[in-house]
Structure 1
Amino acid sequence: MRRAQMAGRYERVPERQITVGFEGRQAVALETDSGARETTTWNDLDPAARKLLFRRTPQGLEPLALWLNEDGLPRDGHGWHHSFETANKRIDALGLKDFSCTPHMLRHSLALKWYSVAKLVQARQLGHLSQEETRDFREQFGDHWHLVQTMLGHRQVETTKNVYLEPFRNLEVELLLRHADGFPVERFMADAFAAHPRVRTDPLAVR
């Protein structure tokens, strides 16, 4: 970003808009061509329009976008797919055949990993409670399914269970809880899901 500022790259972005403030979390104030202040809700700004939002700083214009390309310009929403395609080609060139990854696969990896972590954490927190007390706790604060649902942003927990965490549906995870202290979660997951059609294991990690 600093290199882009020094090169004056942001000043050359056509149709850029300068933000001058925010109206809570629902709207943003933009500077008009006449220098006036105009408020627009975030819902009225599509992804393409949001890429054109900048703010003034002592170092110069700065994009509001979180993810930037190497040239400092806001990254396209589908840009990660190009990054993964390039990475997959590099992996293939190294001789790791039939192994690739996509951005969406990382969501599944996150779901599987945090489901295991949540089970371990809850076992430590609730291990001293009776079954009735444990049930009351989960009714008030939710269980591990709902934790992963929240992290993934799913509207229905059934999506989390039946799609993202389907490999766990028939797995006796309670066996894992008996060894909660120092349990090798990554090794366990690699072994448990080695042959599952929806799980792809890192070939380097299992060598």
Structure 2
Amino acid sequence: MKQIVGRDGGGIAVPVARAKDARRSNVHWLTPRTWRLWIDVGLRGHTPGEIPEVGWLGRLEDRNVAFVRTLTSSGLRRAEGGSLLVFEVPARQLDGGRYYSGRVAAGVTRSKKPRTFYVAADAVGEIEAYVASSRAWAVRRAQRQRLYQQLPEIRLVTEITRRVNPVVRWRNQAGVVGERKLNDLTVADRMLLYHDGSHGPEPLWLWLNECGLPFHVHSWDGVFATANRRCERVLTPSNRMGLDPHQVFAPYATPHSARHSFALYMLVVLNTLMDQKYGLSPEERRDFRQLYGDPWFMVQTLLGHASRETTVDRYLAPVADLQLRSMLAGASEPVPAPMPELDRTFARIAKESVGIQDVDMRMAPPSGGLR
């Protein structure tokens, strides 16, 4: 908390670095199965019958799916996930694991502080598949056209130091050298970074457009808008078209709703781990929380919020007053790894809360579908 001067001239306490876009009207949650439906229909071109639509081209489908899966499994903001460089993506390990950790550079975070993020292993796999397929194809085509040599400015990276606070060193087309700490690079700086590949310059920016150039962070809004329109067209029954304000039939998502949904998901999962997987008694659970913090604090840390109020009152408002332990009751034994899907748990939370989208395709009317 920090002290500021109020309207009456007196001092009042307010949260530090409260998220400016965390107004309740901006908050959207989707349950995991609803995200899967949104991705399949909106990004993969599936019909309600779970098969690709005839004639579906799937332009950059692998890129779009990888990006959304990255956001939903990591809680990264649009600018944080959208400005990743290729070497900042965690590498999968031979010994496996459900999540891998990476670092968000300070220059792209809202707080201007670096932090650790965790991303699901399958999302990392989808990024790797994208890098090896459509991204590699776009880069190679741009190289054959000598597109990168025609750009007004590129910074060809010559070295990234191996330090606690790495330094990026480069030279531009005129041979002028420069350097900056990785944590100090802005989104605009990152878009200029290239490295010398086997066939010429290659962007270090992870997400590229079809021309092989960096895909602007704000352009992801268009990807989400297109997917939302497709979900509405495909999933809304003809007699309810334009009459589904609460997204009963067709889910609606934004880049930031991925972050909201991640917060909700992690709260449920962390409560499940505490209450079921470890088989803790009430006394052991209290000791565990005293040592490591309760799930609310853990989610706050994962999101990088300076204020607990933002996490609890904004991102997790629908479940702030619910006893999650009672929702998750029923398992007499610890949950084995990997944790099974929690669709029924999220369906119950959505039913008892306001603002959480949960679309159950088993209940979809037969008249709903592709038109």
TM-score, length-scaled by structure 1: 0.84
* 205 and 72 in structure 1: CA distance in 2 versus 1, 3 angstrom threshold: farther
CA distance in 2, matches of 1:10, 1:183: 46
CA distance in 2, matches of 1:183, 1:41: 41
Find the counterpart in structure 2 of residue 5 from structure 1. 143
- Checking the alignment, whether the CA contact within 8 Å between 2:154 and 2:172 is kept in structure 1 is no
Find the counterpart in structure 2 of residue 127 from structure 1. 279
Q: Secondary structure at the match of 1:111?
A: helix
- Checking the alignment, whether the CA contact within 8 Å between 1:20 and 1:37 is kept in structure 2 is no
Aligned with 2:293 (options 136, 142, 154)? 142
* 32 and 74 in structure 1: CA distance in 2 versus 1, 3 angstrom threshold: closer
Find the counterpart in structure 1 of residue 321 from structure 2. 170
Identity %: 34
Find the counterpart in structure 1 of residue 357 from structure 2. 200
- Checking the alignment, whether the CA contact within 8 Å between 2:274 and 2:285 is kept in structure 1 is no
Find the counterpart in structure 2 of residue 153 from structure 1. 304
CA distance in 2, matches of 1:95, 1:130: 45
Find the counterpart in structure 1 of residue 347 from structure 2. 190
CA deviations over 1:97-156 (Å, ceiling 9, x no partner): 54421111111111111111111111235534552x433322322221122222222122
CA distance in 2, matches of 1:205, 1:105: 24
Gap regions ≥5 residues in structure 1: none
Q: Which amino acid aligns with 1:35?
A: G
* 70 and 179 in structure 1: CA distance in 2 versus 1, 3 angstrom threshold: farther
Total equivalences in the alignment: 206
Find the counterpart in structure 2 of residue 94 from structure 1. 234
TM-score, length-scaled by structure 2: 0.50
More contact order relative to length (CA 8 Å, sep ≥ 6):
2
**Offset at residue 4 of structure 1 (A):** 2.8
- Checking the alignment, whether the CA contact within 8 Å between 2:275 and 2:325 is kept in structure 1 is no
Q: Secondary structure at the match of 2:212?
A: coil
* 134 and 187 in structure 1: CA distance in 2 versus 1, 3 angstrom threshold: closer
Find the counterpart in structure 1 of residue 157 from structure 2. 19
Q: Which amino acid aligns with 2:148?
A: Y
Query: CA-atom RMSD, angstroms?
Result: 2.6
CA distance in 2, matches of 1:204, 1:12: 49
Gap regions ≥5 residues in structure 2: 1-138, 365-371
Find the counterpart in structure 2 of residue 114 from structure 1. 266
